[in-house]
Every structure is written in structure tokens, then in C-alpha cells.
Amino acid sequence: MPQTSPLQLSTSLARFRRYLILGNLVILGIVTLAAVLTVSAGYRTHEERGRANAAGLADTLGQSVAATIRLVDNALLSTLNQIEQQPPSALHAAHLRRITTAQRALVPAMNALRVTDADGWVLNPDADGGPRISGADRDYFRAARADPTQLAISEPLQGRLKTGWGLIFARARLDESGRFIGIVYGGINTDAFMAHFRHADVGAHGAVALRSRSLRLIARYSPQSLVPEAALGTTRVSAALTTALAADPMQGSFIAHAVLDDVERVAAYTSVADYPLLILVGLATDDFFAPWRRQVAELAALLALLMLVVLGASLTIYRAQARQVEARARIALLAAERGAMLDNELVGMVKLRDRCEVWHNAALARLFGYGPGELSGRTSRLLYLDDESYAQVGLAYQQLQEMSSYRTQLRMRHKDGSAVWIDLNGTALPNGESLWLMIDITPIKRSEEKARHLAFHDMLTGLPNRQLLQERLSFLLRDAERNDRWLAVCYLDLDGFKAVNDIHGHDAGDAVLRTAATRLSDSVRGNDVVARMGGDEFVLVLNQLGGLSDEQHALNRVLDSFAAPITLPDGTEVRVGVSIGVAIYPQHGRDAATLISRADHALLAGKRAGKGRWVAWQAAVEPDAVAAAQGDAAVSATGSGWSAR
């Protein structure tokens, strides 16, 4: 073997040293880039999941609060109805107490139910001879007097006779001529809302808050808060919330430090039905991003270890090469060491020429389920799901020549035929070949899909929730307009559900709701929509109706599906019925909000006429007309069809 001169050796070592440093920088840069991309993708995924989870909790809690308010409003309306049916001579304090006491017993959350005259003086004090009470100076009294057709809701306030914070709900009393003669009002303590909030899984440092539209704090729950009532009634909020509300006052999300406890949270807010209230749910970033931070620490440690390994191996190679005289031996050793670096456990790598495999590491074969040698020399088409995605990546080769790199995310094919989500990164090599890095991101994609499902579906029944219903109904309305077809929006609630809940407990109530969801889904066609609005309320959208008979047959099927009893998990059989309010497109409205609202009004009118039937909306079912009417003459009975107006 010929000897190498010192000058040749020095020149060779200097050249080798430059190549070695450059090669190590490329390898460490690629691995670092892959780690940074993985960490960034993980952060975005956790942030999006946090926003989705907070929004889902806010929507669920908002529905619970709205359901409680509707119960109070029903009690107010029932009290008004009973008072209107009494002769004036019977409306003395004792008789009024009997009426209000009976209604309060139906709504456990309500702490008071009182009736006032036109000057605000309470007509049913707790006991005869007690102190006179006036609410004329309260905002709810003024609001009810100013707009007698609407439910008035107070700002958070402290009771005059009973301690503690709460809200007051009021409706105006009108005489036969429509003159204001007082109000009926009921109160809910902050503790009633806290009972809903304590069941929410917000982590160790999360928080739930209920605020009025003026942002006054009504109720707030946080596991770490020792004095939850300390800030009630204040309007201190973060600038991020103010900015988000300016952009969208109905719902939104943001990340900020809470003003009340300085904890950074991923927060979401949503309006409580049509009431002037906001629900805010915040998930502490310290809790929510803990798994991501562990991932970052593990990747950082692994990257540091890899750097140490690369540096150590490079130093070893350099020293070995310095001891070697033969340049070929040094190059062979360097190639072996570089091969060991490339065949890592984290990133699949493949080198292609004319889209055929030239070299790949073991991580790539494991990623796609192939054994040793099975990918050697094969075309890369083997790894793509279809010709379209293969052609799409094929267009990237021109970009590789112009920009030297290409990156995308797409689904590729595993050996068993299943789809695998891959983060694909290609780099052009000087010899006409290309190097592709592949990272399996399937778990991240599955987490994104799961978060989206939770955001748009009811957790108990699996049915679409209010938000997804709005999207689908808007689409179906556009389709009905294009094809000149009818469409029916049906608002339902379960007759007898509250009795099942009270007697057999909430688990039994949940079982009834799941069974009801199944029966409703089985009673309609595949192109119809079944959604849960909250509580025992559902909405059906009957699509592509050809005429009145289609609607009648579908609604009668729904009613018949509840004829059979429901078997609870403990074997007990219970019966519930269903009442339905119907609004038809285009006769009763042409947009989603109008149709849902009118179907809801038809349901309320139908329940007064008698349960277990379907009732179509008519103009007389609007709230102001219903308050003035004593019967339901304007509402069609079961099976009698609808009357367009």
C-alpha cells in the first residue's frame, strides 16, 4: 500500500474535517428541525384541544343554566296564569302565598317567588303583619314595566331579607286592558349556579364564571378559590376578554391571565341561550400544557443526547482518520458512522432517484410495516393511498429544484392497507437524488378529530348539538330553496321526564334520554336530522318533504315510537311521551332561527292544550298573543295538519 506524505495527509485531514463538520450540521439541523416541527405541532394541537374543550364545557354549562332559567320562567308564567284566573276578591296575601308556594316547590333552585302591585309593593309577604317590601327601585321591576312581553333579568344583587348574591327574574302583570299592574318575580341564589359548575372538569386550577352582559360577576367556581363570593358583583375582566367580546359578543376563546387570581388560562365564552348572560370556562395552561411540556423536555433531552452522540462520534471518527494513512479507509469509516446516525428511531428517512428507493433507514420500514429488504429498489407509489396523492407529491420535485425543500401532511398507505398520517419533508440532494423525512402524526390527527366531534355533538346521547344543528339546518334550507321542497323543523320535549328524574334519579333520566335519542333517530329517515338542544328538548329536521302527508306520517311515527315503555338499567319500566311543535319551510319561515323559535312556541302552546301530540305553528302562537289568549284555539291539534298564514 503506497504511503501518504505528511502534506497529503494534512490536506486530506483538512478536507475531511470540513466535510465532517458540514455533515454533522446538516444532520443535527434536520433532526432539530423535525423536533421543532413536532413540538410546534403538539403545541398547536394542545392549544386547539384546550379551546375546543373549554368551548364544549361552556356550551354544556350554558345549556344547564338556560334550563334552570327556563324552569323559573315557567314558574312565573304558571303563577301569572293562575292569578289571572282568580277573581280580584280572591287575591289576598294568604291565597297568593298558596299559589307561589306551590310553584316554588316545583323549582328547587328558586329561593323566592313574590307578587307585587303596580307600585312595587309585595302582595304576598312571608307572614301577615311582616315588614312591607318594595321592589320599585330595582332594575328588574323597571325592566319588566318597560317591556311587559319579555322576561326581565336583574344584574347580580344581594337580597334585602336574605343574605347572599343572586339573580332576580321577573314578568309583568297586565290587566284585561293591557295596563301594567305589577310583576311576578323569583330569585336564584349564586349557590344554584355553583351546583352546576362544581360538576365541570376544569382541572386543579381551572375556573367557571357566569357574568351579565355588563360583565358583572354573578357566580364563579375554581377548585383553588377559598372565598368564591369575594369578587361577586365586580366587573374586573382581562383585556383579552374585552377584545374577544368586541369581535364576537356571542362566543369566542382566548388565552390570558385572569384578573381575579392571575392564573393563565385557555378560556372560552358563550352566551346563555337568548338571555343577557355569558358563561366563561378557563382551563389553566399549567394543567393543560403539562403533557406537552413533558414532551418538549423529553425531545430536548433526546436531542441533546443525539448531539452528544454526534459530536462524540465525529471526534472519534476524526481521531481514527488521523491515525489512518489510507483515505479510502477513512471514507468508509465515515460512511458507516453516518449510516448509524441516519438510522434513528424517531424519523423515517428514504433516499429516492426517479421516485424509486435507493436507501432507507429501519425507522421508515417500521413506520409502514415492512420487513428488511421489502422496500429496496421499489417505487415510492407503494407508499401512497391513491394515484391522486402520488401525483400531488410528484409536482413537488420541480419545487425541490427551485427551493431545495418541500413539506406537506398527507395520508399514506401502511403495508396492511390502512391509512397513516405522515408529516412529509423532502430535500433535494446535489446528485439528482432526494432525501425524504417522514414522521407519524396519526395520534395527533386522531386527537384533532376527537376534539372536533366533542365540540359538535352532545356528550350524553351522541346526537348533534345546537351548533352542529345550526350548520346542517342552514345547509338543508339552501337545498330546499334550490329544489322547491318543504322542510319541517320540529321542537320536542319529553312528557313525564321530570317525574322519572325525580323518582328514579339522574342516572335513570340519562338512560331515558339515550333511549329517546335512539327512538327519534330510528323514526326518521337517513337524510333527516335529530339534535339535542339540552335537558329533555330535541329538534328534528324533516328534509325533502313532498307535501303535508309526508310530514304527518313522519310525526305520527315519532309519537308511536314512544308508546312502548322504557326499561331502566335496574329493570324498572317507565313511560314517557313526547310533545312536538312544528314549523314548516317556507310557509312559517325561511331561516333557521325563525323556524326553531316558532317550532318552540308551537310546542309551548301545544303542551297547554294537552300533551302527547304534535302542533303546528300559527301566527297566534307568538309570545304576545299567547299571553293575551286564555286557550289554544289558534293551535292545530294532533294529526290535524297546519294552517299557513
Domains of the chain: 69-188 (3.30.450.20), 193-290 (3.30.450.20), 343-438 (3.30.450.20), 457-628 (3.30.70.270)
Given the C-alpha cell 316545583, which residue does it identify?
106
pLDDT of residue 490: 96
Query: What three-state secondary structure class fits 223?
Result: coil
More confident residue, 508 or 227: 508
Tens of pLDDT along 121-163? 998 887 766 678 888 889 999 999 999 999 999 999 887 666 6
pLDDT of residue 429: 84
Nearest C-alpha neighbor of 70 from the set 410, 635, 536: 536
Chain segment 227-276, per-residue pLDDT in tens = 566 688 888 999 999 999 999 999 999 999 988 888 999 999 999 988 99
pLDDT of 333 > 60? The answer is no
Least reliable range by pLDDT among 42-56, 140-154, 439-453, 549-563: 439-453
What is the average per-residue pLDDT within 307-324? 84
Is the bond into 228 cis (omega within 30 degrees of 0)?
no
Say if residue 589's pLDDT is above 90. yes
Higher pLDDT, 443 or 63: 63
Rounded to whole angstroms, the Cα distance separating 584 from 618 reads 10
Phi, psi (rounded to 5 degrees) for 87: -70, 150
Q: How distant is the alpha carbon of residue 622 from its chain centre?
A: 31
Which pLDDT value is given to residue 472?
A: 92
Distance CA 587, CA 290 (A): 54
CA 562 to chain centre: 30
How many residues in the chain?
645
More confident residue, 512 or 195: 512
Q: Give the mean pLDDT of the chain.
A: 84
Using CB atoms within 10 A of its CB, is residue 592 exposed (0-12), middle (13-18) or buried (19+)? buried
Buried b / exposed e along 611-636 (16+ C-beta atoms within 10 A) = ebbbbbbbebbbeeebbeeeebebbb
- The answer, yes or no, to whether residue 45 has pLDDT greater than 60, is yes
β partners of residue 266:
255, 283
* Segment 50-106, tens digit of pLDDT: 899 989 999 999 999 999 999 999 999 999 999 988 887 777 888 888 999 989 989
pLDDT at 510 over 60: yes
Average pLDDT, integer, range 392-418: 80
pLDDT at 226: 64
Supply the pLDDT for residue 320.
Answer: 84
Mean pLDDT of 525-549: 87
* Closest among 468, 571, 581 to 529, alpha carbons compared: 468
**Which pLDDT belongs to residue 204?**
85
457: confidence class by pLDDT, cuts 50, 70, 90: confident
Q: With 80 as the cut, is the pLDDT of residue 396 above it?
A: no
Q: Could you write out the DSSP letters of every residue in 397-431?
A: HHHHHHHSEEEEEEEEE-TTS-EEEEEEEEEE-TT
Does residue 631 surpass a pLDDT of 50?
no
**pTM, 2 dp:** 0.45
Give which of 337, 317, 328, 342 is closest to 429, Cα–Cα: 342
Helix (H, G, I), strand (E, B) or coil at 71: helix
pLDDT at position 636 is 40
